[in-house]
């Protein structure tokens, strides 16, 4: 299924690497790109000793709206320069509160593009936004590193494969991207060798090859590092410009917890990562 509708969550500061990627990606795929600016409304502490001054709350509200409007304005100009079909929107949420207002915009789209958390320019609730969109929107998510990306049309793609349903969904979501790539590596990481099961990853590699893709398989058995480091090392050594993988996590006490490998990759990623859950 082609990617024809993309939503990108805009940054409130910086030079909008995720929006730039989404717009160039959208132009390549002849897709419509929507920029969503999120206004984070201030929270009134329930335990405050005295009522918060009305003028303080009003000023904080206006500041949040101004930041969202400015990021929307940036997106509109970037979209004009890119020549991509586009629109921009705003969503208001309570800082630390539910994200349903954002999810409502994410669900009727093919792909959500959002920037990696930037430690130098922190965005409100960025990690929670990524996790919630990935786990609750039902839509694949493409996370763009905060350092940006020069490869808007990936040519060397790394597919993380473990036979899971989440990895399968990620591959299906990425098919329009994979079909335009020059080289695809299916990376299988095994804690121990399983020769009785045949070549690990062979089935999915054959599936992709039937889509006229140039596919190779690489198996890492009993890696000396963790799964995340094995993936990141492969990217560094082989010049991959996109990683496709499943996203793992579960909900407990209304907090989303990433699986260890997923979180580590998102913290240390240097190229875009397309995930599905």
Domain's final residue, options 110, 144, 178:
144
Spatial distance between the Cα atoms of 209 and 229, rounded to a whole number of angstroms = 27
Lowest mean pLDDT, pick from 20-29, 124-133, 217-226: 217-226
Residues 217, 126 within the same domain: no
Residues 105, 169 within the same domain: no
Spatial distance between the Cα atoms of 76 and 82, rounded to a whole number of angstroms = 10
- Domain tally, the chain: 2
For the full predicted model, state whether its pTM sits above 0.85.
yes
Residue 253: is its pLDDT beyond 60?
Answer: no
Domain's final residue, options 119, 144, 169:
144
Q: Does the CA dihedral 49-54-56-60 come out positive or negative?
A: positive
CATH number of the domain encompassing residue 30:
3.40.50.620
pLDDT, tens only, 19-71? 999 999 999 999 999 999 999 987 765 555 556 677 877 888 899 999 999 99
Residues 72, 130 within the same domain: yes
Task: Tell me the residue range of the domain where 172 lies.
Answer: 156-276
151 belongs to a structural domain: no
């Amino acid at each position: 299924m082609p990617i024809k509708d993309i939503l990108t969550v805009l940054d409130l500061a910086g030079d909008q690497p995720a929006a730039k990627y989404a717009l160039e990606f959208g132009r390549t795929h002849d897709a419509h790109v929507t920029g969503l600016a999120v206004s984070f409304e201030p929270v009134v502490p329930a335990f405050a000793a005295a009522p918060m001054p009305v003028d303080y709350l009003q000023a904080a509200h206006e500041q949040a709206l101004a930041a969202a409007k400015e990021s929307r304005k940036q997106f509109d100009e970037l979209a004009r320069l890119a020549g991509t079909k586009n629109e921009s929107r705003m969503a208001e949420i309570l800082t630390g509160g539910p994200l349903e207002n954002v999810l409502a915009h994410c669900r009727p789209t093919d792909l959500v593009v959002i920037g990696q958390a930037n430690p130098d320019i922190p965005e409100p609730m960025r990690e929670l936004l990524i996790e919630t969109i990935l786990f609750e929107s039902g839509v694949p998510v493409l996370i763009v590193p905060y350092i940006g990306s020069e490869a808007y049309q990936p040519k060397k793609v790394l597919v993380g494969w473990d036979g899971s349903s989440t990895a399968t969904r990620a591959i299906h979501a990425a098919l329009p991207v994979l079909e335009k790539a020059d080289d695809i590596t299916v990376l299988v990481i095994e804690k121990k060798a399983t020769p009785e099961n045949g070549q690990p990853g062979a089935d999915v590699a054959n599936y992709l090859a039937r889509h006229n893709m140039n596919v190779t398989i690489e198996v890492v058995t009993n890696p000396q590092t963790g799964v995340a480091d094995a993936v990141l090392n492969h990217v560094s050594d082989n010049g991959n410009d996109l990683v496709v993988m499943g996203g793992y996590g579960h909900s407990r006490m209304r907090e989303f917890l990433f699986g260890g490998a997923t979180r580590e990759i998102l913290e240390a990623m240097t190229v875009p990562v397309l995930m599905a859950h």
